[in-house]
Amino acid sequence: MTLEFAASLFLLATGASALGGALGMASGIFIVPLLTVFAGIGIHTAIAASIVSVIACSTGGAATFLRVGLTNLRVAIVLETATTAGALAGVLLIGVFPVSALFFLFAAILLLSARQMMARRREPEAAEIISDGRDWASRLDLHASYPDPARGREIAYRVGRVPLALALMFGAGLVSALLGIGSGVLKIPAMDTALRLPIKVSSATSNFMIGVTAAASGVAYFARGDIDPAIAGPVAVGSVIGALLGARFLIAVPGDRLRLLFVAVLLVLAAQMLLSAFGIDLRGHAA
């Protein structure tokens, strides 16, 4: 591998992680299509490299979100049990699905996530979720608050429908193992629609969780020999730098604009992955 190619991988990973880190999705969801389409790397090798970048991206951004109080650690720990179980189940299915099926699955997940995010544009208020104190969220003490510089005050929120979120997280973990996307693309809509978390809290908490989920499936990719150090190395370094830049962006941007950016990115990636499923790349000819 040439120095120029390694530098291009580094730049791709930095940009992807800056955007992914700001949205709480790490870089996996962007790294896979970028490596396959622009770098000409096989999808299984790209997925393995993205798993490494997901771990690096989570490590780079998590400290910043924890310091400013955006991450809900209790929610992360509860949901991660289901996500990790799903990731381990997905490991058993690695290599079972053909490449075209993976592209179709990726596109379907992106479109579903975009629809869910647009269904609820307004940020929830704590009073909107009524609780009798006997629900899972109250018993586990998951309700919290976060500082919002855009509003200039502390925003309280309540957590709801934990069982539904656990089921969605199991599916997110399974998809993470198959596609190497860190499952943030599913975790954020799940926390947004099931738990009713503010978008900034969902993104920060997802960023904290994705590294654990990726590590659970990354061991399997390493054992299979799919991780190429020459590719994963520059991608991981770029992911750490990009994650730090993305964390600063998430803290500063208003929640409604963050949600719209999230949806726009999902739609663009879904279109690209559908083209790839039919063997068509972005340059307009058969792959």
pTM: 0.71
Average pLDDT over residues 196-207: 84
pLDDT-wise least confident of 8-12, 50-54, 92-96: 92-96
CB 142 within 8 A of CB 78: yes
CB 177 within 8 A of CB 91: yes
- Going by pLDDT thresholds of 50, 70 and 90, the confidence category of residue 285 is very low
Average pLDDT over residues 129-134: 55
Mean pLDDT of the chain: 78
> What is the reported pLDDT for 183?
65
* CA distances from residue 183 to 130, 151, 158 in whole angstroms, order as listed: 29, 29, 23
Nearest-angstrom CA–CA distance, 175 and 190: 14
The proportion of the chain whose per-residue pLDDT surpasses 70, expressed as a percent, equals 84
Nearest-angstrom CA–CA distance, 171 and 113: 13
> What is the reported pLDDT for 75?
92
The proportion of the chain whose per-residue pLDDT surpasses 90, expressed as a percent, equals 2
Strands 153-157 and 144-148: antiparallel
The Cβ of residue 224 has, within 10 Å, a number of other Cβ atoms equal to: 13
pLDDT-wise least confident of 73-82, 121-130, 169-178: 121-130
